[in-house]
Structure 1
């Protein structure tokens, strides 16, 4: 469990389209997390992975990019398809970013 006052530094490099992005993640309570905006690029329901082109994810201090995320529960992917605009929350677990909540944008 993360404390809202705890800060965990993590240099996490993501390679998308040959570019490396490094950013520091800050753990925040779920109640404080503002949902990020994104667009689904790819879904793999078998592996529970989703590729999202997203704006800034403030809860983990991640700049806009396209990235593959695991999901906390594969059932979250039901009803979603490539091209859907979504709002979602991400949690840093070790060195992995996991989508903890996702819904179609209104």
Structure 2
């Protein structure tokens, strides 16, 4: 009986130490990869068409493709703009590339380029 208990204890000790060794061996891993992918997704430009420019409210209505960084499908929706000067760069019908982010709870265009 004593031999069985010793065998079980030794088996557990070997299993725990092997797991700890494997978890601690991260020297060859690129730890910034996930953060970099998140940053790339955030900065990926989406494509759209300006449907309305509302300078008084500081908003654009955009018919857009998928917004991968926000997990949204293609649709037409209203966005605030980060910089009101963006509104003077576009007019209804313009095709644009843009980045939209959630800023203070509102979907906001943070980057904008005409195609």
Global fold match (TM > 0.5): yes
- Contact 2:55 2:87 survives alignment (8 Å): yes
Residues 55-100 of structure 1 deviation map (CA, whole Å, 9 limit, x = unaligned): 0011111110000000001101113100000000011124311000
State the distance in 2 between where 1:30 and 1:72 align: 20
Where does the alignment leave 5 or more consecutive residues of structure 1 unmatched?
6-27
Is 2:78 the counterpart of 1:68? yes
TM-score, normalization: structure 2? 0.63
Per the alignment, in what secondary structure is the counterpart of residue 75 of structure 1?
Answer: helix
Where does the alignment leave 5 or more consecutive residues of structure 2 unmatched?
1-33
Per the alignment, in what secondary structure is the counterpart of residue 73 of structure 2?
Answer: coil
Name which of structure 1's ranges 75-84 and 90-99 shifts more when overlaid on structure 2: 90-99
- Alignment RMSD: 1.8
Residues 24-48 of structure 1 deviation map (CA, whole Å, 9 limit, x = unaligned): xxxx437852100000000011211
Q: Please identify which structure carries the higher strand content.
A: 1
- Contact 2:80 2:109 survives alignment (8 Å): yes
Higher alpha-carbon Rg: 2
- Contact 2:41 2:69 survives alignment (8 Å): no
Look up the match of 2:92: 82
1:57 pairs, out of 58, 67, 75, with 67
State the distance in 1 between where 2:71 and 2:45 align: 13
TM-score, normalization: structure 1? 0.68
